[in-house]
Structure 1
Amino acid sequence: MYSFVSTVQKPTSVTHSVTGNFTGPNDKNLIISKCTKIEIFLMDQDGLKPMFDVNIYGRISVLKLFSVAGSKQDYLFISTESFKFCILAYDYEKKEIVTKASGNAEDTIGRPTEAGQLGIIDPDGRIVALHLYEGLLKLITLDNSTINNNNNNINTPNKGINNNSPIQKNANNVRLEELQVLDMTFLYGCKVPTIAVLFKDTKDEKHISTYEISAKDTELVVGPWSQSNVGVYSSLLVPVPLGGVLVVADNGITYLNGKTTRSVSIPYTKFLAFDRVDKDGSRFLFGDHFGRLSVLVLIHQQQKVMELKFEQLGRISIPSSISYLDSGVVYVGSSSGDSQLIKLNTEKDSITDSYISYLETFTNIGPIVDFCVVDAEKQGQAQIVTCSGTYRDGSLRIIRNGIGIAEQASIELEGIKGIFPIGSGSSNDSKDKYLITSFIECTKVLSFQGEEIEETEFQGLDSDCSTLYCGTVDKLNLLIQITNVSINLIDSHTFQRVSQWNVENGRRINLVSTNQDQIVLSIDKSLLYFQINASNKSIQLVKEIQLPHEISCIDISPFDSFMDSKSQLVSVGLWNDITLRIFKLPNLEEVWKEPLGGEILPRSILMISFDSIDYIFCSLGDGHLFKFQFDFSSFKLFDKRKLTLGTQPIILKKFKLKNTINIFAISDRPTVIYSHNKKLFYSVVNLKDVTNVTSFNSDGFPNSMAIATTNSLTIGTIDEIQKLHIKTIPLTEEMGRRIVHLEEHSCYAVITVKNNEGITGGGAQDLFEEDEEVSFIRIYNDQTFELISSYKLGPYEMGWSLTQCKFAGDDVNTYLAVGTSINAPDKPTSGRVLLFSLSSNDQNVTINNNNNNNNKNNSLNNSGKLILLEELNFRSSVYFLLSFNGRLIAAVHKRLFSIRYSHSKEKNCKVISSESVHKGHTMILKLASRGHFILVGDMMKSVSLLVEQSDGSLEQIARNPQPIWIRSIAMINDDYFIGAEASNNFVVVKKNNDSTNELERELLDSVGHYHIGESINFMRHGSLVRLPDSDQPIIPTILYASVNGSIGVIASISEDDFIFFSKLQKGLNQVVRGVGGFSHDTWRAFSNDHHTVDSKNFIDGDLIETFLDLKYESQLKAVADLGITPDDAFRRIESLMQYIR
């Protein structure tokens, strides 16, 4: 079994953010980290402008900007959870990040800190302190000579850390007496680097110590002051430029400097992030776990803090980072909800009771607690619906691949061959008013009055024949109509014909392309170039040439469609010799000839500029697309690429959406081609049978598209152009914990949790009350997401598992089962299984009234509402429910129970019953089934395989002996199974069916392992791409979602594909440098607390995909050992990616 892992959505949860001058001395940058990548923004008067993002081979634990004496730009320090660290700089001339230094802070002996890794940098950029192991502090001295030493640079790609580099030699361990360090910081204004350490003693009392760091011996010396008993709720230290620190607790903030103590009491809370507003530290912003932003003001005189004042400003997302940008603008990074760009106002809004206005929202779909895969539109293309966010930032997210069209109006019209938008003719009105529709033997004019559509006529328009093109020349107030036999000029005000050019000798116009007053058309082998005379509004033939073959496609578009300029070139595709040719205007001088190869005709050609890069696209009749870059100075094509967009002929159309020009590729798989950060993307449009498209912007239908299909004309709005589309359904200050789609009832069932923030009275007892959460089962319509029904669980009861099921003997009804955990104070943990039906008014449902449950009244029994039928009590938590062959399997702590719902002769009604069918586990977290087999995922005992016996019992037939802490599982097929474990690895195990040894047959051997680098809660079978045609192979895929908001796909590939991609991966590792000198092989190696082994039988699809963006010379190096061309590799990668993501 071979697996290809590819990321569909990179992490979206923000963990850190910093500001500084990274990309230039005068640039103000915001840099954010999202688990395994960093994103760099430039701040200007228009807001935040994304510059680029960089993947990191590691989970980022520390992100700090700093400067050293003499440096013009800031450096970026990064440390990872695997104890690697690096210093990055930005090369302004090369426009790329360079690694200035890198090292390894890992120690062979030492116990990792329980409170998490801490990293701080001296305000003067003299030293870095890392607290990674209990009782140890790693000190790294910094200066220009050390950072810029050439021996620091990792010039050999992906070979790992250079342990002999100066930066590595300058990293030393010193002993720290405090074992339970909670936080630490460097102090401002100290001649010698000085740190303050917040720690907890063996009696859980908290204290602060300070230490000076001797630069000569790199040792810790007892510092200028210390403070005992700073409060049991103290959790953060904030350095103050005035000197001293702020000690932040859940019930107050205290300023200390060894001499002065100032305090302010606050309502009980838990602060998660902070940042300084003023350079002198007069004001600080704090964000708490309720999503409240507050300001702390330090009133000071002559560098002495006199008083602290605290005020709440308003609501934000629950923050993981806060970065003050400038002029009251603040970036709020969140790993719980969407990140935000906000503005702090001087006056409070009387309506919102807040000082905050919201400027921009940045989507975050993490943490993804659960998700389901649904083909909502029954088109063979699924969407993911996730439970995302935490508490008040909780939401459902509908995530789908491709671009959707929201229909605004539709008319039944068969046989449309062309559609062309026309304005009203008024110079003061740029909106479209008419839509010219062309058919085989006629042309019709549709008039739009608001949202009303009616047919009309233009007197000068030739309506008795098909129209090849119709459009306006705005500066001449003319309308151009081109048919197979003529060019007609029509006054755009009176719609009277003012000029005409006719084809002679019975010939016919085959193809046409225009650019304002420029017209180029083909007649058989002839290429003709016309211009419209502005003075007398006549049509003038400028040049006609004969080509060796008939013309199959033609384009005269200027590369930059926003510039009101003449096109200097015309590009054509030819029959027979299958070439692309470029001619210079006005004399039609051939300046380039490009053989396309093969026997398939070019069908459409287009010139366009994306992000100041000139491209020429040429599509073929078999669904392939050629992409070239064009050098205007030499009239040469380069960087030739061939892609597959479909299987049918492709027609390329430019369209305008707001302020961007993109390409709509019409084929059996309609695709939008667009650019982002100078990289081209191809996003599938969720439409079928498209024959023509055009932009359309009328009063009644602004910023829309007109779309012709085989039998209709549709006006609709297009989604924002991006690869994945994410729609947010807020859960009204609740978070989703589990979700399932009930297809028969057209709804989603969701377990939600609400934090009773509004119920607390503000005291410590209220804040830490165990029963501060309430759990619900919610039912939502799967189209409108309207709340249909709700059921509140009991006190101290949380919903843990959710599934739909059918029971033996009842093929009609589908039931909803919920597993819970009850953790009441001073009582042992217990749980329940609740069985619901979704009933309509005419449905007869028998409820067992003998069941004593006071919560039944919470269930609404109107039309389409939840009805509680039965419940079962257990003496432990019900962690997972699995529908299995006409019964329900419940994972109750260490045991599996079989639950049946059947008719009782004694009670003359249906009753629920259970029996224990398997035990011997530690804690069962996940179950999966296939046929008569059940895969069990245990928190500590890895995975085991059970089989259903004829009497209904379950027997273990094989297990994996490795001590793997499982988080999620899936059955790839009958013999191979995959698990995601707690150290962020994938492991694949297989049955030993062919072994003759009985003991070996009882083992599930590990045959694949891979470090994914993210915590995976669930894996589901499915795909986000449309299923291929019947003659195309279906690649089995499993989707996974992470706590950090990433979504990925695991595809099962053939041995031949694995061998090919393994060689390509090895070649890429010789070309693609790991940022920071971090090794790709080390990053993807399976690693947990017990052992580390190289990745096996997995391919890193993200690394493979980087091949598509490499320069041709680098691609040649990457495929050097494969014996193929870069184009061959390009096509093979693109072919696989098309069917898996």
Structure 2
Amino acid sequence: MLIDNESLYLYNVTLKRPSYAISSVTGHFSGTKKVQEICIATSLTIELWRPNIDTGKLDKICVHNVFSVIQSLEKIRLMGSQKDYLVITSDSGKLAILQYDTGRNRFITMFQEPHSKTGFRRNTPGAYLLTDPQNRAILIGALERNKLIYKVHSDDKGGMQISSPLESQTRHTITLAMCALDTGYENPVFVAIEADYGALDSKEHSIDPQAHQSLLLTSYELDQGLNHVVRRVVNNKLPMTATHLIPLPSPAGGVLICCESYAIYEPFEYKRLYLPFPIRQDRENTVIINHVSQKFKKSNYLILAQTQLGDCLKFSLHYNDEREQLDDITVSYFDTIPVSNSLNILRSGFLFANTAHGNKLFYQFEKLGEEGNDLTLRCSDHYEQVTTIDHSKRDFKPKGLENLALVDVMDSLNPVTDATLLETRTSESPDPLINLFTLSSRFIKILTHGMPVNQLVTSPLPIHPSLIFATKKFNNSVNDDYLVISSELSSQTLVLSIGEVVEEVSDSEFVTDQPAIHVQQTGNSSIVQVFSNGIRSIRHIRNGDEEIKKTTDWYPPAGISVTKASGNSTQLIIGMSNREVCYFEIDPVDDQLVEYQERLEVSGGSISSLAILSSKDPEQRSAHAIIGSSDETIQVVSLKRHNCLSVVALQALSSKSTSILMLRHEDSIYVHIGMENGLYVCTMIDEVSGKLSDTRIKFLGSKSVRLSPIKVPGSAGEEDGILALSSRPWYGYFAEGRFKLSPLINCSLTHGTSFYAEDISGEGIVGISENNLVILTIGSSDDDASDDTRGDFKDDFTSREVKLRYLPKKMIIESNSEENNRSWIYVLESENGIRAPFGPTKLVEGEEITDNVDDKAIDQDYYDVFGYEHKNGSWASCIQVFDYKLNKIVKTVEFFNDERILSSCEIKFNSSDNSSYLIVGTTRNSLDKNIRHYLYTFKVTSSRNSHSQKGQKTLLFIHKTESEFAPFAMIEFNNRLLIGTKNLLRLYDIGHKQLLRKASSSIDYFENIIKLTYMGGNRIMAADANISSTFVKYDQVENQFFPLADDIMKRKITSMCSLDYDTIVGGDKFGNIFVSRIPEVLSKQADQDWGLIRHQDSYLNGAVSRLKNLCEFYSGDIPTSFSKGSLILGSEESIFYTGLMGTVGALIPLVTKSEVQFFIELEAELRGYFDYNFDNFDEQKNGYNLLGKDHLKHRSYYNPVKNVIDGDLIERFSEVSYNNKIRIANKLDRTPKDIDKKISEIRNRSAF
């Protein structure tokens, strides 16, 4: 492949998957009868979560990127089976049935039934996906006309089989809602609310059931005997407000048709019933948006429906067994939770709320709402009695949770409206933290790469500690018994016992007048203490209730001291000051140390570190030892009996090794090396030959790296990880087929080790911080589900959130040149359809904005739970100032009702005193119904308030300028304010009474400028709402802006960012990401020969030239922000982007042609391996493409993918079987380890 020298190639990797879930289902996907899982489908992924009944938390089991756009999700189960299967429709044009494989911890494809072309169209089945409650049939329906029904049955071997689809077509019919009826053993029946748009006219339709209506209730019955679909239209007409269907369980059967503020019960065999809904106070109606039902023992059901405001209503059925019909239905208020896309009830007594925006919530049922209902409404068989009921008799006021209790919060970013990378500093580490500040659903969410820690104990120590160890006395003990603290400065060792209290032990038999170098539990009941003058073995013998301790000492030659040591339960190796290495093994009979007769003298320098394989299993002996010396080398020494203490390998390093660990993961042994220059090295060692290979390097900090073995949380001590301490602590572990290193957030340790105690629910870390003993666990606290800081040890990000008033739209980062004085973020917030309880901020020219963030007379907690008062067409807007150093909102500027914030920027005017100004553009509906537009000017200055601290910043209101048009975009341009409005670009400068217009230019082919980006010099990039982006140059002589080059296609731009003087990256509302560059010749002419370009005629109703399209890529999410930078200190700069549904991704530049060629070839091989054609699937040669979508088509959804490598597909190389890895690697002239290393390196360049 010929690669152009001027081309740009990017490597896309998703750092955080989209969190907006379109649907969720519960089921026994693992096949265990008493274990239910929750499957969540986002637009691009499927996730499997399992509730932990003991803790009430949700544990992530697996997640898959399906490389397709998911449309609907359901479950189905074969008759007599205990295992549920997933049924998915997507844009692949295939109906996919998936099975969860517990052994491989992943979903695999069982069936892919093609039914239409790829993509979404209104007549493509898949918008509606239903399964018969008796699991006999699957229906997929389109928005218009088409419906397909598949019969499901078992084959001779008990496996699932599905038949060819039976089709039902109805022309000129739109489907509004569908559900599957519970018909028992009768034929499967599906019902739908349909609209015959051929019969609709322009007249306004009444909700009177006697008037002419075009909404139909239609049933689709699968006649199993005739293998035919029968469509029937119910004669009774439906009101135009019917929107939702709730099937009732047998024996009642039938369906509830939810309309505005009431429901119709349709039994199909006898008279309809009408049920009024409770209506929240100060609201006009109640509209049902989703429901959930759960069967309990003895045919009892719980049916909950949620309204458009989040209120949950409980339905109770009163069935007459003698008459075999439903006599009464009652409805009552249950609880209020956030508006959800789907609700799921688990048999264990939990409710999962798949919220439409914000964090997903996991509740536990406290009650079933059977008592204390102030309002219960009953059904009637007369329509007029329902519609004419007195409003006061159905009003209710929402309350706090009474029947539900929140037990877990699943962190979710959606919707992300803006984001930026920002470097901050903390007191715990001298290195800065790089955070991603995001605006999401009335929150500022701060994402930091790393893991949170939950600090349980902090206690001062009487000595200045240097090392700490945790050990058991007996090999079969569960908990650690001793904490051993060593102090080189005090030259002593402190031994503490672990129990209900931590206290010093006086009879431990440890040598306490010398600092311990190493402490290890050995044999069955012994502890080995290594100190500078020797080794002590302490054996614990149980004699009834009494415990006897016997000690054995070993001493080095006179004048020689022990400097380093490492050991496991059966082996011990020490390094001495004379560069000799002694090796011991543990006698399994009496736990005594047995010294190997010979010793090894290390050449090249003093011993700086050493390690043998850390293992509790006496059968897993370490075959090698690793010895690091001061000459910047490590030596691999054999511990096998035929060549014990023989050097078998030598490796040079870039710096002296300060710490070494050997840990086993699955069938491989890894050597972890910490070096003096802050580098960490992970390499693999061959158990037979001792050869080192597959080396990975990472910079951890400015200090030397010290390593300690720790246990992975939740693994019951079975999985090993590492604690790496440099200028900040890091935690290393294996996950998703690769080794990850994540920093520990808000934590400072100088030494630490693994610690196990049942009192802290398992694995923890005990460490030293300054002169204190700390005990902590990895992960956020479980005590409070609403804690502001959330994270999990399996997640790459820790999130911290700050509450905002309204929905945030944009953030402005303070651009103060002094770092110590820069801490503000201006957040623009606007929300439609609400009336705010806050009064507008009093703005007086020349006066400061007060610091009153919230009115104490207003119950903000009430509005956070139940929302603000609703008012159609109304706007509520404010600007809040967030101080990220104080982590709180410090100022709020509330605008008038019906005033909407459109844009803002911070600027320093030439004519001012080098002060920063905040300009805010708004639009407002005035009392005379005229729309007016304003530009507010605020000045950032030191507070003159006597109550404020000296030098504290504040906002000073300067003036308000009325604008002719709505200011949708504004930026600073050469110390002036540039505003984009309609097709105009206008320059403003500061004035005493208002902003002064200095220039106005029109771009003829623009309609509405919505984005402006400063490119440098006299250039900007302007984006129109429909016509994409254009390079624009400012002519200082003519004081005008002129279009220079525009895009090659029309795009609906949502976000863009300048990469350099000639290049931008942008995204549109269809999920495309593109990179465009102005041609090099044109760029030089525009700067050097502007007169030649200035008078050229426009080309095809556009600018004089066209941009060069460098990259094109479909991300699957609407890009809302782009930032240049790195998430890792000292890493290369890349492009980071966020998506509306919560996606966080990175576009990493590829720097060499060989690298580009390698990834292009690897991507092509993986596309072939994960082939979309399931008909020719061979598990020995292919991997599972779960939904059957061609990967190339997916990434070329709207435009052909260009010069972007899909890193998400590349990272699936870890899922490839070993034989196929070798086959792919041979085609690339590489080894599988080389490919794994290359994939890891490209990801770690700028991310993690």
Q: TM-score, normalised by structure 2?
A: 0.75
Match of 1:946 in 2: 1032
Match of 1:372 in 2: 420
Matched, 1:1015 2:1118: yes
Matched, 1:806 2:908: yes
Matched, 1:480 2:534: no
Matched, 1:652 2:707: yes
Match of 2:291 in 1: 274
Q: Which runs of 5+ in 2 are unaligned?
A: 1-7, 206-212, 280-284, 373-398, 541-545, 780-792, 817-821, 838-861, 1086-1092, 1171-1182
Give the Cα–Cα distance (whole angstroms) in 1 for the partners of residues 942 and 260 of structure 2.
50
- Measure how far apart 1:639 and its partner are: 12
Give the Cα–Cα distance (whole angstroms) in 2 for the partners of residues 1100 and 867 of structure 1.
49
Post-superposition CA distance 1:701-726 (Å, at most 9, x none)? x96653579xx889585752345333
Give the Cα–Cα distance (whole angstroms) in 2 for the partners of residues 140 and 821 of structure 1.
54
Matched, 1:75 2:85: yes
- Measure how far apart 1:689 and its partner are: 11
Give the Cα–Cα distance (whole angstroms) in 2 for the partners of residues 364 and 294 of structure 1.
26
Show the 5 A alignment for 1:589-608.
595=649, 604-608=659-663
Read off the aligned partner of 1:930 and give its amino acid letter: M
Post-superposition CA distance 1:184-233 (Å, at most 9, x none)? 12322184443322134535654422233567998754426343133526
Give the Cα–Cα distance (whole angstroms) in 2 for the partners of residues 556 and 984 of structure 1.
51
Match of 1:522 in 2: 575
3-state DSSP class of the match of 1:1132? helix
Q: Are the counterparts in 1 of residues 612 and 626 from structure 2 also a CA contact under 8 Å?
A: no
Q: Are the counterparts in 1 of residues 968 and 981 from structure 2 also a CA contact under 8 Å?
A: yes
Give the Cα–Cα distance (whole angstroms) in 2 for the partners of residues 512 and 246 of structure 1.
74
Which of the numbers 172, 180, 201 marks the counterpart of 1:186?
A: 180
Give the Cα–Cα distance (whole angstroms) in 2 for the partners of residues 822 and 146 of structure 1.
70
Read off the aligned partner of 2:74 and give its amino acid letter: K
3-state DSSP class of the match of 2:276? strand
Read off the aligned partner of 1:386 and give its amino acid letter: T
Show the 5 A alignment for 1:400-799.
400-403=448-451, 418-421=466-469, 435-438=485-488, 442=491, 467-469=516-518, 480-483=529-532, 485-488=533-536, 500-504=553-557, 506-515=559-568, 519-523=572-576, 524-529=579-584, 531=586, 540-547=593-600, 553-555=609-611, 558-560=614-616, 568-569=621-622, 571-574=624-627, 580=636, 583=639, 595=649, 604-608=659-663, 615-619=669-673, 623=679, 625-628=681-684, 641-646=694-699, 651-655=706-710, 662-666=721-725, 671-676=730-735, 680-685=739-744, 692-694=751-753, 706-707=767-768, 720=779, 721-731=793-803, 734-742=806-814, 744=816, 746-753=823-830, 756=834, 769-771=871-873, 773-799=875-901
Give the Cα–Cα distance (whole angstroms) in 1 for the partners of residues 1239 and 98 of structure 2.
31
- Measure how far apart 1:992 and its partner are: 2.1
Inter-CA distance 398–972: structure 2 relative to 1 (3 Å threshold): same
3-state DSSP class of the match of 1:807? coil
Inter-CA distance 28–424: structure 2 relative to 1 (3 Å threshold): closer
Read off the aligned partner of 1:73 and give its amino acid letter: K
Matched, 1:901 2:990: yes
Give the Cα–Cα distance (whole angstroms) in 2 for the partners of residues 811 and 138 of structure 1.
71
Percent identity between the two aligned chains: 16
Match of 1:1119 in 2: 1225
Matched, 1:36 2:36: no
Q: Which moved more, 1:281-290 or 1:56-65?
A: 281-290
Inter-CA distance 838–120: structure 2 relative to 1 (3 Å threshold): same
Matched, 1:1064 2:1162: yes
- Measure how far apart 1:1068 and its partner are: 2.1
Q: Are the counterparts in 2 of residues 294 and 311 from structure 1 also a CA contact under 8 Å?
A: yes
Q: Are the counterparts in 2 of residues 33 and 60 from structure 1 also a CA contact under 8 Å?
A: yes
Which of the numbers 402, 406, 409 marks the counterpart of 1:354?
A: 402
Read off the aligned partner of 2:99 and give its amino acid letter: A
Inter-CA distance 689–23: structure 2 relative to 1 (3 Å threshold): closer
- Measure how far apart 1:317 and its partner are: 3.2
Which of the numbers 66, 72, 92 marks the counterpart of 1:62?
A: 72
Post-superposition CA distance 1:665-703 (Å, at most 9, x none)? 345785321244775422145699986444689999x96
3-state DSSP class of the match of 1:1105? helix
Which of the numbers 77, 99, 102 marks the counterpart of 2:109?
A: 99
Q: TM-score, normalised by structure 1?
A: 0.81
Inter-CA distance 107–521: structure 2 relative to 1 (3 Å threshold): closer
Which of the numbers 209, 232, 247 marks the counterpart of 2:241?
A: 232
Which of the numbers 1116, 1121, 1127 marks the counterpart of 1:1024?
A: 1127
Which of the numbers 152, 170, 173 marks the counterpart of 1:176?
A: 170
Figure out how many residues of one structure are paired with residues of the other and give that number: 1069
Give the Cα–Cα distance (whole angstroms) in 1 for the partners of residues 1214 and 705 of structure 2.
22
Matched, 1:1081 2:1191: yes
Match of 2:848 in 1: none
3-state DSSP class of the match of 1:963? coil
Q: Which moved more, 1:379-388 or 1:745-754?
A: 745-754
Which of the numbers 336, 343, 346 marks the counterpart of 1:325?
A: 346
Match of 1:90 in 2: 100
- Measure how far apart 1:316 and its partner are: 2.5
Post-superposition CA distance 1:493-513 (Å, at most 9, x none)? 99x997643211544434212
Give the Cα–Cα distance (whole angstroms) in 2 for the partners of residues 75 and 592 of structure 1.
56
Q: Which moved more, 1:1039-1048 or 1:746-755?
A: 746-755
3-state DSSP class of the match of 2:807? strand
- Measure how far apart 1:898 and its partner are: 2.3
- Measure how far apart 1:1087 and its partner are: 2.6
Inter-CA distance 124–864: structure 2 relative to 1 (3 Å threshold): same
Give the Cα–Cα distance (whole angstroms) in 2 for the partners of residues 591 and 335 of structure 1.
63
Inter-CA distance 263–767: structure 2 relative to 1 (3 Å threshold): farther
Post-superposition CA distance 1:18-47 (Å, at most 9, x none)? 122323263533211122111123457445
Give the Cα–Cα distance (whole angstroms) in 1 for the partners of residues 286 and 925 of structure 2.
24
Give the Cα–Cα distance (whole angstroms) in 1 for the partners of residues 231 and 985 of structure 2.
58
Which of the numbers 936, 957, 969 marks the counterpart of 2:1056?
A: 969
Match of 1:8 in 2: 15
Give the Cα–Cα distance (whole angstroms) in 1 for the partners of residues 249 and 172 of structure 2.
23
Match of 2:853 in 1: none
3-state DSSP class of the match of 1:1140? coil
Match of 1:850 in 2: none
Inter-CA distance 534–748: structure 2 relative to 1 (3 Å threshold): farther
Which of the numbers 253, 256, 259 marks the counterpart of 2:263?
A: 253
Q: Are the counterparts in 1 of residues 1011 and 1023 from structure 2 also a CA contact under 8 Å?
A: yes
Q: Are the counterparts in 1 of residues 733 and 740 from structure 2 also a CA contact under 8 Å?
A: yes
3-state DSSP class of the match of 1:832? strand
Q: Are the counterparts in 1 of residues 125 and 146 from structure 2 also a CA contact under 8 Å?
A: no
Q: Are the counterparts in 2 of residues 881 and 888 from structure 1 also a CA contact under 8 Å?
A: yes
Which of the numbers 186, 191, 197 marks the counterpart of 1:196?
A: 191
Match of 1:856 in 2: none
Q: Are the counterparts in 2 of residues 14 and 339 from structure 1 also a CA contact under 8 Å?
A: no
Q: Which runs of 5+ in 1 are unaligned?
A: 153-165, 845-860, 1029-1033
3-state DSSP class of the match of 1:833? strand
Q: Are the counterparts in 2 of residues 12 and 1044 from structure 1 also a CA contact under 8 Å?
A: yes
Matched, 1:1006 2:1109: yes
Cα-Cα RMSD: 5.0
Give the Cα–Cα distance (whole angstroms) in 2 for the partners of residues 575 and 121 of structure 1.
63
Give the Cα–Cα distance (whole angstroms) in 2 for the partners of residues 249 and 862 of structure 1.
60
Give the Cα–Cα distance (whole angstroms) in 1 for the partners of residues 100 and 304 of structure 2.
29
Q: Are the counterparts in 1 of residues 304 and 312 from structure 2 also a CA contact under 8 Å?
A: yes
Q: Are the counterparts in 1 of residues 465 and 485 from structure 2 also a CA contact under 8 Å?
A: no
Match of 2:5 in 1: none
3-state DSSP class of the match of 1:58? coil
Give the Cα–Cα distance (whole angstroms) in 1 for the partners of residues 108 and 934 of structure 2.
57
Q: Quick one: higher RCO (CA 8 Å, sep 6+), 1 or 2?
A: 1
Post-superposition CA distance 1:557-601 (Å, at most 9, x none)? 6535xx8x79744641157996545647xx798699985766778
Give the Cα–Cα distance (whole angstroms) in 2 for the partners of residues 108 and 431 of structure 1.
62
Give the Cα–Cα distance (whole angstroms) in 1 for the partners of residues 966 and 913 of structure 2.
29
Give the Cα–Cα distance (whole angstroms) in 2 for the partners of residues 70 and 473 of structure 1.
52
Inter-CA distance 911–890: structure 2 relative to 1 (3 Å threshold): closer
